[in-house]
Homo-oligomer: A and B are copies of this chain.
């Protein structure tokens, strides 16, 4: 009989949870599965997730499901872009092994009643104007993790707050999955790729370009030596088209998402923003690397 007591370190220095994982791994085994959860309407950003998964895993699973629990009643659940045939084509091109198209009634049957949340990180930034969003994201991601039991899961840094909340949930719940973030992908003119860009007409698209414009400016200011967040934000936001309705523009800690008054050159930061452009809610962010 093997006995593991958590406050006694084993000879290899592993924590007791690591010891159990090893015990478990020795009992089973198998190929490395990479999961890429999406809501479909796949674009170049999703392709970059699939490519990274393809490079790093034996099996790549793609899920397509427009998850109702992360939409508020006034949001675009019913009109969210759907393009299954094109998505399957993308999946084939990227060498996906399994595509799963989810179904609301199967995932949320009558009587469903479990809730999950990471309140400290979710009640800020996007969580203020979208109070149900992250609880809904955590719920579907946790379900997908249990359904696929992947070794790795891939999310875009485009949804920075979402990525960090999922990583926190995964750590807190001891989920044996490596949640990997992939760099945000932009159009050549700087617009962050988003399925919701399909909603933009030409004029709105021009306005939307000023979102990334503010972020590039902010990074420039940071590189030039500015460290006070208020100054960086104020000067950067001069780039924003006046027709754009800003939701938030915040300099925050890269891991904990806490607002930063001043940026520590040795820690860097991330600037996250959200705005309404001609009625379409867009988000974007930029990482301020250490300097």
Q: Is A80 an interface residue (CB 8 A)?
A: no
Let me know if B106 and A113 touch, CB within 8 A.
no
Complex alpha-carbon distance, A102 and B6, angstroms: 5
Secondary structure at the A interface, as helix, strand, loop or mixed, is mixed
Contact of A103 among B7, B103, B114, B175 (CB under 8 A): B7
Q: What total of chain A residues lie within 8 Å of the partner, measured CB to CB? A: 60
Let me know if B21 and A147 touch, CB within 8 A.
yes
Contacts of A21 in B (CB 8 A): 147
Complex alpha-carbon distance, A59 and B24, angstroms: 10
Contact of A29 among B6, B16, B30, B146 (CB under 8 A): B30
Contact of A99 among B4, B30, B107 (CB under 8 A): B4
Let me know if B3 and A173 touch, CB within 8 A.
no
Let me know if B115 and A114 touch, CB within 8 A.
no
Contact of A148 among B24, B88, B111, B121 (CB under 8 A): B24
Task: Tell me the minimal C-beta distance from A178 to chain B in angstroms.
Answer: 13
Q: Is A12 an interface residue (CB 8 A)?
A: no
> Using a CB-CB cutoff of 8 Å, which residues 104-138 of chain A contact chain B?
106-107, 111-121, 138
Contact of A114 among B15, B27, B99, B172 (CB under 8 A): B172
Contact of A149 among B143, B169, B176 (CB under 8 A): B176
Binding site for B on A (CB under 8 A): 1-7, 15-17, 20-21, 23-24, 27-31, 33, 59, 88, 91-92, 96-103, 106-107, 111-121, 138, 142-143, 146-149, 168-169, 172-176, 256
Selected A-B contacts with CB under 8 Å, 18 pairs: A2-B99, A4-B100, A5-B101, A6-B100, A6-B101, A6-B102, A7-B103, A16-B101, A20-B98, A27-B30, A29-B30, A113-B118, A113-B119, A114-B138, A114-B169, A115-B116, A143-B173, A146-B174
